[in-house]
Structure 1
Amino acid sequence: MSGPTDVPTLPDTRLAGLLAEARALQPHTVELRRKIHRHPEIGLQLPATQTAIQEALTDLPLEITTGKSTTSLTAVLRGARPGPSVLLRGDMDALPLTEETGVEFASQVDGRMHACGHDTHVAMLASAARLLAGRVDRLAGSVVFMFQPGEEGYHGARHMIHEGVLDAAGSRVERALALHIWANRPTGVISCRPGRMMASSDSFVVRVTGRGAHGSMPQNGIDPVPAAAAMVGALQTMISRRVNVFDPAVLSVTRISAGTTNNVIPETAELEGTFRTQSEQTRALVRDELPKVCEAIGAAHGCRVAVDIQPGYPPTVNDPVEAGRVLALAGGVLGPDHVEEWADPIMGAEDFSFVLQRVPGALAFLGACPPDEDPGQAAPNHSNRVRYDEDAMPHGVALYAAYALDTLGLG
């Protein structure tokens, strides 16, 4: 990754004081974050989280609507003058993990944990709403705050788009920003890049059907296990031989299931996994080739093969202009030592990609490594031991506000 000095800053006296104001709001931010962290919810139905957000926003001049098919929440702040609208996103859902962080505000729900920092996203977005409400007389346009459930594989953004979040202010939002906290980067550092930022994410299940037999007499059956095993290697060969190395794909077989005991050749075997790509072209290629490889290997072993591919999220692609503006704003508002251009896209996926398919915008990472840990060794996102430095949150609050203010102008 390039260093902080490689990124242009956007010094702007009109945005002076945002970080100080965000720090003054830190008690509100921490209180909401910890409340949500103690009571994590999974998927599209997050009633306790929705209620906590509503309570945190109740005294602000916001137009609040809740989702029909999910427990999403959309809040609109209208400026003193008409103008365009800008969207700020914070996702709300947790993961199915048992927390082992040892923090005093740890999850109180067995098997659920905010291991991807969405609790911090919600808290930062709520405090950004509070900060911007205090400057509403300087806004020419509207800010749409998108509190989104179901980011972790449930297509929450797509549900909210279908219910009109992009038109919540009365006209289509013109710019959009999402921040994602990152446990393995220094606290308060904003990382972003133009173009490809994150990958697509699709899943697959391959069911291989043969004919069962006694384990001592395989000639009397058709064993699906060797066929399934051959598919694992062949799929990796397909990736390395069919996919352009400069437009990469990653395919992982993450589950293999077959059999019931040691002396029975099973009738079926099953593979499950995921593939990630950085472009729709390579995504389509892998989606077409995967069944062909598995079916051909199955036929060579005398097995029937059924392949089910479940579409996930498209690649997350930042608008080059908006990504550059995020980096410049971060440098100007947070300081040049708190911004870096992310060198390479990553193969994780994000459903903010659905928003970026429709609206110019960007997704950026916010570093939050605990001060007592080395960023390279700290427990990462999706670990049940991940911890985030709460001192990073004012940086996110300030950047959210700066992005909205810079988009809508200052009176």
Structure 2
Amino acid sequence: MKVHESINFKGEAAAIEPRLIALRRELHQVPEIGNDLPQTQALVLQALNGLPLEIHTGLSLTSVVAVLRGRGQVPTDTRRPTVLLRGDMDGLPLTEETDLPFASTNGFMHACGHDLHTAGLIGAALLLSAHLDDIPGDVVFMFQPGEEGPGGAEPMIAEGVLEVTGQRPDAVYGLHVVAHKTAGEFSIRPKTIMAGVGELEITVTGRGGHGAEPHKSMDPVPVACEIVLALQSYLSRRVNVFDPVVITVGEIHAGSAVNIIPDSATLKGSVRVLSDAAFDQIARDLPLLSDGIAQAHGCLADTRVEKFYPPTVNDPDETAFVVQELTAMYGPDRVKILEHPWMASEDFSLLLQQVPGAFILLGANPGQLAKEPLTNHSPEVVFDDVVLADAAAILAQLAYDRVVSYIRPTSGVTTL
């Protein structure tokens, strides 16, 4: 049987970097949001055209699933291995405020770097397709809409992305660019790497009236404001500091004129947690908190707390494998083990609940900003697309080496 040799995807990725940068900048100009991304899907299909891939498009969303069937030899007594690589494609409902020559002008923005994720995954498909005869297994490329909401991983799982090759993947990998970290720096940690997220909505109902006579009404606006402040006091006094929670109220809606006291006021926000127990506590306590404050002012409060994505939890063995691969490719100075999770959230977590794998953070700060680096989701944020070669190379390397490891087990991987 053929011995599977090591492949230098890092060197090969450098050769296709200009192509990936051009593709990323084209994607950046046409961001789309949610699960309906027709322009983005068309660009992905165009970029994959001609590669030796089985292409599947989504039924309920504009996803793309591409399957590479490797032609490398697999022993007759060995199950054919499969690895899944995922990249998300959607943007944000945000107007771009950069001076980039390829900036979006359609009112949406790739402010979280998903255009880099898409281009990087296409790069991995290009690299692996060039070694079809060497790959003793299958690789699934999962191009996912809706990560920012309403969630694209769940419907893709329901439509069979995890069974597209005929069997479940042995491992899943993905990565996320981070605007405030040094370009080319990889970060990872075993177990929880990103928070789970839920949505909070509280509607305070009072009694409207004339703005000149508030005593004849029951004004819900100051009650809603008091609840916003009380949420932060609640977090500091009632939540275990070793199982942290972050609540951010991002929307407050009330009223239609400056001289009218409205009947109701609504606030909406996000809830970030690192454990299911913390979310259960929030879901139990916040209705009591908001209703108590509202009743003290003669109003009523209706509170909804809905779980959105669970925490992103890396498999310890797969994390150790990723660290080994990253260190071999880029050296230990470019690989950081995070001390704490990142409190952002990801629906890649749903894949990790079903298949062992790991999620990687890749710094993409262009290093040219005079002020403190901006974060993902800022309308002014800029990502350095020089990291695309690294993204493509590590995804391809992980897929190839993990497939080969099932044919010829690797040694030296220890749990972090």
State TM-score, norm by structure 2.
Answer: 0.90
The aligned runs of 1:7-22 (5 Å cut-off) are: 14-22=5-13
Letter of the 1:98 counterpart: T
The aligned residue for residue 145 of structure 1 is: 141
Give yes or no for the alignment of 1:103 onto 2:124: no
Structure 1 residues 252 and 380: alpha-carbon distance in aligned structure 2, compared to 1, 3 A threshold = closer
Percent of paired sites with the same residue: 46
Structure 1 residues 226 and 187: alpha-carbon distance in aligned structure 2, compared to 1, 3 A threshold = closer
The aligned residue for residue 34 of structure 2 is: 43
CA contact (8 A) 1:190 1:327 kept: no
**Gap regions ≥5 residues in structure 1:** 1-12
Residue 344 (structure 1) shift: 0.9
The aligned residue for residue 55 of structure 1 is: 46
Select which of 338, 341, 364 maps to 1:342. 338
The aligned runs of 1:318-333 (5 Å cut-off) are: 318-333=314-329
Deviations 1:106-125 (A, max 9, x none): 22x32112111111111111
The aligned residue for residue 87 of structure 1 is: 84
Letter of the 1:164 counterpart: G
Q: Relative to structure 2, which stretch is displaced further, 163-172 or 334-343?
A: 334-343
Structure 1 residues 233 and 388: alpha-carbon distance in aligned structure 2, compared to 1, 3 A threshold = closer
CA contact (8 A) 1:209 1:268 kept: yes
Letter of the 1:37 counterpart: H
Residue 263 (structure 1) shift: 4.3
After superposition, the CA RMSD in angstroms is: 1.9
Q: Distance in 2 between matches of 1:253 and 1:183?
A: 23
Partner SS, residue 183 of structure 1? strand
Letter of the 1:78 counterpart: R
Runs (4 or more) in structure 1 with deviation over 6 Å come to none
Residue 277 (structure 1) shift: 0.5
Deviations 1:139-189 (A, max 9, x none): 221100000011112211111111010111110111111111112222211
Structure 1 residues 221 and 178: alpha-carbon distance in aligned structure 2, compared to 1, 3 A threshold = same
Partner SS, residue 138 of structure 2? strand
Letter of the 1:239 counterpart: L
Q: Distance in 2 between matches of 1:267 and 1:188?
A: 52
Residue 236 (structure 1) shift: 2.0
CA contact (8 A) 1:43 1:154 kept: yes
Q: Distance in 1 between matches of 2:144 and 2:212?
A: 55
The aligned residue for residue 242 of structure 1 is: 238
Alignment: residue pair count? 397
Q: Distance in 1 between matches of 2:20 and 2:216?
A: 67
Give yes or no for the alignment of 1:197 onto 2:190: no
The aligned residue for residue 121 of structure 2 is: 125
The aligned runs of 1:280-295 (5 Å cut-off) are: 280-295=276-291
Residue 101 (structure 1) shift: 2.2
The aligned residue for residue 412 of structure 2 is: none
Deviations 1:207-258 (A, max 9, x none): 1111223344444332323332332232222222221110010112223333
Q: Distance in 1 between matches of 2:191 and 2:402?
A: 20
Residue 261 (structure 1) shift: 4.0
**Gap regions ≥5 residues in structure 2:** 75-79, 408-416
Structure 1 residues 226 and 39: alpha-carbon distance in aligned structure 2, compared to 1, 3 A threshold = closer
Partner SS, residue 97 of structure 2? coil
The aligned runs of 1:210-225 (5 Å cut-off) are: 210-225=206-221
CA contact (8 A) 1:166 1:172 kept: yes
